[in-house]
Amino acid sequence: MNKKQHSTHDARRNTQYGFTLVELVVAIGVMAMVVLFAGTVFKASIAAYRVATAQAEVMQKFRAITDQLNNDFQGLRKDGYLMLYSTYAGTAPNNFRSDRLYFFSTGDFQSWYNSTVRSNIARIYLGHDRTSFTYTVNYWRLVQDINLLTPGMSGGDYNDVNFAWCQVHPTEITNNANAMFLYPPYINTADSNTLSRLLCENAGQFKIEWTDGTIDAGSGAIAWFGFYMQRSVGSPPDIPADILYGPIESYVTGSYYEATWLPSTPAVLWPTAIKFTFTLYDSHGRNGQTFTHIVYIGD
* CB 110 within 8 Å of CB 139: no
Measured over the CA atoms of residue 2, residue 6, residue 9 and residue 15, the dihedral's sign is negative
119, 163 Cβ separation under 8 angstroms: no
Q: What is the CB neighbour count within 10 angstroms for residue 259? A: 23
110 burial level (CB within 10 Å; 0-12, 13-18, 19+): middle
Cα separation, 87 vs 82, in Å, equals 17
Instruction: Give pLDDT, residue 241.
Output: 47
Long-range contacts formed by 235-242: CB under 8 A, 24+ apart? 238/214, 239/214
Q: What does the pLDDT profile of the chain (299 residues) look like in tens digits?
A: 555 555 555 555 555 556 687 767 777 777 878 777 766 766 766 666 677 788 889 999 999 999 999 999 999 999 999 999 999 987 655 688 999 999 999 999 999 999 899 999 999 999 999 988 888 888 899 999 999 999 999 998 999 999 999 999 999 999 999 999 999 999 888 888 888 899 999 999 999 999 988 887 778 888 899 998 888 775 555 555 454 556 888 888 778 999 999 999 888 889 999 999 999 999 888 888 999 999 999 76
Decide the pairing of beta strands 203-211 and 273-280: antiparallel
Domain ranges of the chain: 3-47, 61-296
Strands 141-149 and 198-201: antiparallel
Question: If residue 123 lies in a helix (H) or strand (E), which one and from where to where?
Answer: strand 118-128
Burial of 107 (0-12, 13-18, 19+ CB in 10 A): middle
Task: Say how far apart CA 193 and CA 198 lie, in whole Å.
Answer: 10
| 266: number of Cβ within 10 Å | 11
